Amino acid sequence: MTVHRVVALVLAPQSTFELACAAEVFGMSRPGLPARYTFGVCAERPGAVPTLAGYDMAVSQGPAALEDADTVVVPGWQRRELPAVPAVIDALQRAHRRGARIVAICSGAFLLARAGLLDHRRATTHWRMAADLAAWFPKVRVEPDTLYVDLGDVATSAGTAAGIDLCLHLVRTDHGAAYAEQVARHMVMPPHREGGQLQYAAAPAAARPVRTLGPVLDWALTRLHEPLTVDDLAARAGVSARTLARHFTGQLGVGPGRWLLQQRVAAARALLEQTDLPVEAIAARVGLSSAANLRRRFHALVRTTPAAYRRSFGQVRPGSPAELVPEAEA
């Protein structure tokens, strides 16, 4: 398998945490886990790069390092109110034109916007900066309550730890949920966080805390094969469906029906990767009733078919039932 080259473009003063998000996911060697990425760092010019932590980093490569990167990461841009260095903008644009994936963590979205890579497209950044991004770059469709936005060729994340969410998502996209879960387990991180970033924004002092959803979520996850409804979840929680929806939106950023669908598709992904069960059987196991319904729901969330996903990430044995299902039915 070809190793994917990731290069981070650091900009003074560099946030050490946001750089570390990318380095931890893409640059670490982990026992028992095959290396799928290489990781490097470049700067506007080689030399010492000041950091927000009070020390300098020694960076030996300039923007030319981006010329052979498969993914370019911009881990924040602290001086976003200033004009960008033309050589940096040019390097990002050339990398994008030749097909590299361009990824911004937190305030790095401002540099992508300066480069014109977000015009008429969806993007996010830290919730405290979202209004500025929308005001400074009116062509960008800013989503302030999103942990990350992945458009395929360009991706942006909310602040700090959301950079890890985005990087793990990209690993999941590149190499499947099972591999990403192993990386996350090594990091002692959840492979996927639910909800939007506004759940982490500062709340008004008089805000009333809502009851935890933990028990009802755990209960639902063990019953995905059953025909659960929002009313079932509400009954388990001992509240009305309307109250449950309010709690879901407040704590997870999505409604209960959407959350339930996301969990069913996630379970289907794991079964497609790790078993050779026919798609019809997988649909039944995750509560999506039929192969047709699974294909429709799966494509809506994952942007591919179950068959294509299994070919990319599955471990189907020759002659297995899954392999024998015609393409139109898988």
pLDDT digit of tens for each residue in the chain (330 aa)? 689 999 999 999 999 999 999 999 999 999 889 999 999 999 999 999 999 999 999 999 999 999 999 999 999 999 999 899 999 999 999 999 999 999 999 999 999 999 999 999 999 999 899 999 999 999 999 998 788 999 999 999 998 788 999 999 999 989 988 888 889 888 877 666 654 554 444 433 333 333 568 889 889 999 999 999 999 999 998 999 999 998 888 777 788 999 999 899 989 988 998 899 999 999 999 999 999 999 999 998 888 899 988 988 887 554 555 544 444 444
Q: Which residues contact 68 (CB under 8 A, 6 or more apart)?
A: 5
pTM, two decimals, is: 0.68
Which tokens sit at 231? 């009313």
Sheet holding 4-10, edge to edge: 37-43, 4-10, 71-74, 101-104, 154-157, 148-150
Integer Cα distance of 95 and 111 in angstroms: 14
Instruction: Tell me the C-alpha distance between 155 and 152, whole Å.
Output: 7
Between the CA of residue 16 and those of 40, 82, 177, 281, 291, what are the distances in Å?
Answer: 15, 21, 27, 47, 46
Closest to 180 measured CA to CA, from 294, 27, 293, 25: 25
The 10 Å Cβ neighbour count of residue 56 is 14
Report how far residue 224's alpha carbon sits from residue 205's, in angstroms, rounded to the nearest whole number.
37
State the residue for tokens 């939106």.
249
